[in-house]
Structure 1
């Protein structure tokens, strides 16, 4: 394997899906590895076309039907959001040629969110999400955390150790500050990594965002991104987010939707499968990469390690990025939620599997856990889960897997990628 070439969890999912589906969309933020993965799937007979090539883009816009016409082999179209006019042409093609494996499209923006797009390819398309590298992908470990957790099997990363210079919590913070963009992961210099992330964000705001929305005030969008980075892991509150931005509420919501379409921020829905009237229905907001989050906020290691609020926010967002990547890499269906009620009882993450079993996860930035750390998990088990099977987990920055009663566990954060 070439240096810095990582095996992506979605590769086997895509290869299998191409055997039964006519059109696949591999979606994710720019520079998360979509093109590399698409090329890894391509064979000698695959037709590969990237719309980053200005000539190919002009051809696609000029003659969409001619552009997508090809034989019986797979056609890969990279950055398809640049030419939404291709979607009706693709629909016509796959309605005539009803064979699986016709098209693999990659997109750095949610195609359905683009202005003027009315063709959904409903019934013909499957969307597969690719995120920045998860720690398990960097280490070459399968995505087995979720099935293991429901089976109450927890495997920490034994190679993650405290050193004379860094505590175990420090090591987690350093991983989170780096994030998962492949270009950043391969950087040895922290300063260069930060510079790349800042350049990356500027390029998105100056170019890609313009394909989705007309931004009249770039300075306001820059400030909004900074506010959203600081808001990561908090509950959605447009009024609070807009404080000091001098933007109308509707504009803020439109801008946030655009950033979601570029896969820079993401919402986690509330778990509301109960008749308990005091359950909150607010979404939780997260940045999709902790390296980008830290770069936007200009956070440095020494600034974060001793600030409980900062490292708590960073590590909860880091756990979200790993959980979301694990969920997306599963063949089985796992739904990711959070829980909160008006009595201020919260569970950071609730995962539900296909059988309706529930996994509750609390994230603790500290290196010590007590029975009190489980109080909301106990309450949720007894009052919300009821007859459902429930496993409660407190993820912390220590090193031991410790039981705290039936179905309750304190586990190191590294179980998310342990082997």
Structure 2
């Protein structure tokens, strides 16, 4: 089967999604950032699928063979894993032709580390034949062996949701966000060793991944932009201000941010509005896909890293991970309006029900911490399912009908089945 040795595997929730998709879908794509564990996950799935063939396109000889004769390269009888498939775009057409001629499920398991043009066109090239599963860095529940069930529990239970008291305090949460979720960073024993990982990761991203998706003449501009974004993580993206700070044009900044999204370094969180909240501001928020990388870059960029913004980014990225496997089909937004009401995270499901989440970096809660959530509750009425303030304390407390404060650890310790 060509399995590579030396795998250290933390069980991933995405593996069940991949296995399920392979039972009824011809082509399954696992997509995500560099070094989040896509190859390892795919190899484990291949092993659990009673075998198959594996092709790794980071090997120069394998890559040359794929480019020279794509049709022969993909010829097989069972499941074929092709790792880093974006390296040989010509494989797409060959795969499409093969799965059209032989339309049985579970033919190809593909991994990619960028939303490249070829990957973006996959739904068009393979309509009804493919499914893409997004793999993020490890969640806190995957690291701890916790249930990671907050999103489903919030929609199911609403404002009555409570979490078990937890021993974690502000310093513990900051340590977790600085560790992040890249498997290689989590395994490293000291902050100093993790810092070396983040430095090498960022250098790799700029010299390899960015160059793969765009012809960037001034890599220094991209590096400075990443530093500016890390220093204001969790904040609204102001392209004009970033352009002024970098002495480049706003359209160039937009294209650079789009590249950083394409290679899964950052994620834009769109603004949320409804007919009941017409005064909403439409600028997106930006978070880093990995909080540890964001903290590392921010610490090197500014004298006082934005602890509140980094913690908010940490929470939003945990929510985004859960949305890839939750039963609740919901989308992640943020809310801010011209009357200065804001809510850090909005989850809206397909039925239009809304969960509001505020993030506080303190160990105590005040009534005014719920101002934005109360505003939304008044505006939305029955469609407001619940509002939570997630904070660095240990207690779960009610702040009125449908409103509660919970420890941040509720994100990964809550079991939706309880």
**2:359 paired residue number:** 363
The alignment status of 1:395 with 2:399, answered yes or no, reads: no
The alignment status of 1:352 with 2:348, answered yes or no, reads: yes
Equivalent positions of 1:37-116 (< 5 A) are 37-43=41-47, 44-71=50-77, 73-112=78-117
Counterpart of 2:26 (choices 10, 22, 28) is 22
What per-residue deviation string (whole Å, max 9, x for no partner) do you get for residues 23-81 of structure 1?
A: 1111110100111111110135311111111111111111122212211x211111111
Counterpart of 1:329 (choices 325, 328, 331) is 325
What is the rounded CA distance, in whole Å, between the counterparts of 2:18 and 2:278 in structure 1?
Answer: 41
Residues 6 and 115 (structure 1), Cα distance of their counterparts in 2 relative to 1, 3 Å cut: closer
Residues 299 and 395 (structure 1), Cα distance of their counterparts in 2 relative to 1, 3 Å cut: farther
**Residues 22, 99 of structure 1: 8 Å contact kept:** yes
**Residues 354, 384 of structure 2: 8 Å contact kept:** yes
Q: TM-score, normalised by structure 2?
A: 0.91
What per-residue deviation string (whole Å, max 9, x for no partner) do you get for residues 281-324 of structure 1?
A: 11111111111011112369xx99xx6x7210111011011111
The count of aligned residue pairs is 405
What is the rounded CA distance, in whole Å, between the counterparts of 1:381 and 1:37 in structure 2?
Answer: 41
* Superposed CA RMSD: 2.3
CA shift for structure 1 position 243: 2.4
CA shift for structure 1 position 277: 3.1
Counterpart of 2:35 (choices 10, 31, 35) is 31
Equivalent positions of 1:2-401 (< 5 A) are 5-43=9-47, 44-71=50-77, 73-112=78-117, 120-150=125-155, 151-152=157-158, 154=161, 156=163, 161=167, 168-274=169-275, 276-298=277-299, 310-383=306-379, 385-401=380-396
What is the rounded CA distance, in whole Å, between the counterparts of 1:310 and 1:276 in structure 2?
Answer: 29
**Residues 143, 330 of structure 1: 8 Å contact kept:** no
What per-residue deviation string (whole Å, max 9, x for no partner) do you get for residues 131-156 of structure 1?
A: 01110000112231111122146464
* 3-state DSSP of counterpart to 1:244: helix
* 3-state DSSP of counterpart to 2:346: strand
CA shift for structure 1 position 114: 7.0
What is the rounded CA distance, in whole Å, between the counterparts of 2:372 and 2:300 in structure 1?
Answer: 31
CA shift for structure 1 position 331: 4.0
Which deviates further from its counterpart, 140-149 or 344-353?
A: 140-149
CA shift for structure 1 position 264: 0.3
CA shift for structure 1 position 217: 0.8
* 3-state DSSP of counterpart to 2:383: coil
Structure 1 runs not aligned, ≥5 long: 163-167
What is the rounded CA distance, in whole Å, between the counterparts of 1:78 and 1:156 in structure 2?
Answer: 40
What is the rounded CA distance, in whole Å, between the counterparts of 2:289 and 2:374 in structure 1?
Answer: 29
Structure 2 runs not aligned, ≥5 long: 1-5
Residues 103 and 114 (structure 1), Cα distance of their counterparts in 2 relative to 1, 3 Å cut: closer
Q: TM-score, normalised by structure 1?
A: 0.91
What is the rounded CA distance, in whole Å, between the counterparts of 1:5 and 1:411 in structure 2?
Answer: 31
CA shift for structure 1 position 246: 2.1
**1:415 paired residue number:** 410
